[in-house]
Amino acid sequence: MGPLHGVKVIEFAALGPCPMAAMILADLGAEVVRIERKPAPGAKPASDLFDPKIDILNRSRRVVTLDLKKPEGLAAARALVAKADILVEGYRPGVMERLGVGPDESLAANPKLVYGRMTGWGQSGPLAHSAGHDINYLSLSGALHAIGEPGGKPVVPLNLVADCGGGAMLLVVGVLAALTEARTSGQGQVVDAAMTDGSALLMTMMYTLKAMGQWSSERGSNLLDGGAPFYDTYRCADGKYISIGPIEPQFYALFLEKTGITDPDFKLQWDRTRWPELKTRLATHLETRTRAEWCELLEGSDACVAPVLSMDEAPEHPHNRARGTFIELDGVIQPAPAPRFSRSVPAHPHPPVVGSTGEDVLTDWGFTPEAIADLRQAGAI
């Protein structure tokens, strides 16, 4: 059983980081029930971006489909929330209040409830009610400006920073911190997780370097943004890439030794005026062998070198295979739960549930057969 065994979570189905946060909680052993809103007859899906049968973000939880516009469906949702330890939702500010399951109603019925709210801009501020996506929230934090080649435009780092790191991960941190506090105080609270705040927090190290005078606003000119010749990716003879990161002097010396670089200019590791020139020369040197040849020579040593793998290649790498970093569920390759636990090991994830009304969930959460029949007759499930 995972470390969150016994924790009951209600997730109001949404897009973006909220499903990822719920997936992480479920991966760690919490019982997560996703409330999906029953679509109107003939209604088109809100998004055709994801196939629900293989939407990995929805793994390891059960589903209840409710028509929240019907009094019976709303009452059922409120009853589920009243039995939960944590609620997570990812709508714009005010949507949950208009549905009738906002923090005031929910905490009045369940004083220990941790009410996790995931938005881009936060619950307050001039942009709180505006639409946006990961790239917009990332822009506001200073992070997007810092990523890219010298003289080039900012480069989008997938949606890893705002949606996943600054959003989902910090929502999980927030609700688990509030849950710990609630078990002492007996009082729940609202967790306002904003992707703008989270993205800014993830930039703490860079803001530290900036305060020390060691970070320039010019993209691609700094230690950790590809400006340093010893911290970047390089093309190999076969068109594939390796990443190198031997920052420490002993690792850098080993890198030079193993790659056969004897030019004394490369010993001037921290002479920033030489970095552009040394990057060009190093790129030429590393393009003399294939990625496999460089990995055979360097991978596994303290030279700090790794292959830049595609999503097809990553699950097959020997290290990932040895650790079980990727798993397969119903033919879908996907990342395994993380982190690992020595004692309270979570159960193996199960594929997403599709097309369930959730009557079995309602039974498990204390609804009587008569109450479920009433919901069915009212068209609320």
Q: Which residues have CB under 8 Å from 245's CB, separation 6+?
A: 230, 231, 304, 305
Q: Give the pLDDT band of residue 52 (cuts 50, 70, 90).
A: confident
Q: Is 260 helix (H, G, I), strand (E, B) or coil?
A: coil
> Model confidence at 45, in pLDDT bands (50, 70, 90)?
low
Residue 34 in this model has a pLDDT that exceeds 90: yes
| 65 pLDDT above the threshold of 60 | yes
First to last CA, the chain: 31
| pLDDT tens-digit map of 317-340 | 999 999 999 999 999 999 999 999
Residue 29 has pLDDT above 60, yes or no: yes
* pLDDT at residue 51 in the model: 80
- Residues 276 and 232 sit within 8 Å (Cβ to Cβ): no
Q: What angle do CA 324, 303, 269 make, to 5 degrees?
A: 140
Exposure of 342 by Cβ count < 10 A (0-12 exposed, 13-18 middle, 19+ buried)?
Answer: exposed
Catalytic residues: 133, 163
pLDDT tens for each residue of 171-199: 999 999 999 999 999 999 999 999 999 99
Give me the chain's average pLDDT, please.
96
d(CA 354, CA 376): 18
Neighbouring-strand partners of residue 235: 241
* Distance in angstroms (rounded) separating the CA atoms of residues 72 and 241: 57
Residue 48 pLDDT grade (very low, low, confident, very high; cuts 50, 70, 90): low
Confidence class of residue 43 from pLDDT cuts 50, 70 and 90?
low
Q: Which residues touch 164 (CB under 8 Å, ≥6 apart)?
A: 17, 20
Looking up tokens 């993209």 gives: 219
Q: What is the pLDDT of residues 258-315, one digit of tens each?
A: 999 999 999 999 999 999 999 999 999 999 999 999 999 999 999 999 999 999 999 9
Q: Which pTM value belongs to this model? A: 0.95
Condensed to tens digits (0 to 9), the pLDDT of residues 113-171 reads: 999 999 999 999 999 999 999 999 999 999 999 999 999 999 999 999 999 999 999 99
DSSP assignment letter at 114: E
Report the pLDDT value the prediction gives residue 111, as an integer from 0 to 100: 98
User: What proportion of the chain, given as a percentage, has pLDDT over 90?
Assistant: 94
| The pairing of beta strand 332-335 with beta strand 326-329 | antiparallel
Q: What is the rounded distance in angstroms from the CA atom of residue 198 to the CA atom of residue 246?
A: 29
* Residues contacting 343, CB < 8 A, separation 6+: none
CATH code for the part of the protein at 8-201+329-378: 3.40.50.10540
C-beta of residue 144 within 8 angstroms of C-beta of residue 138: yes
- State the fold for domain 232-316: formyl-coa transferase, domain 3 (3.30.1540)
d(CA 161, CA 168): 10
- Picking from 145, 165, 140, 164, the residue whose alpha carbon sits closest to that of residue 155 is 145
For the chain, which residues make up each domain, given as ranges? Answer: 8-201+329-378, 232-316
What's residue 15's pLDDT? 87
pLDDT band at 49 (very low <50, low <70, confident <90, very high): low
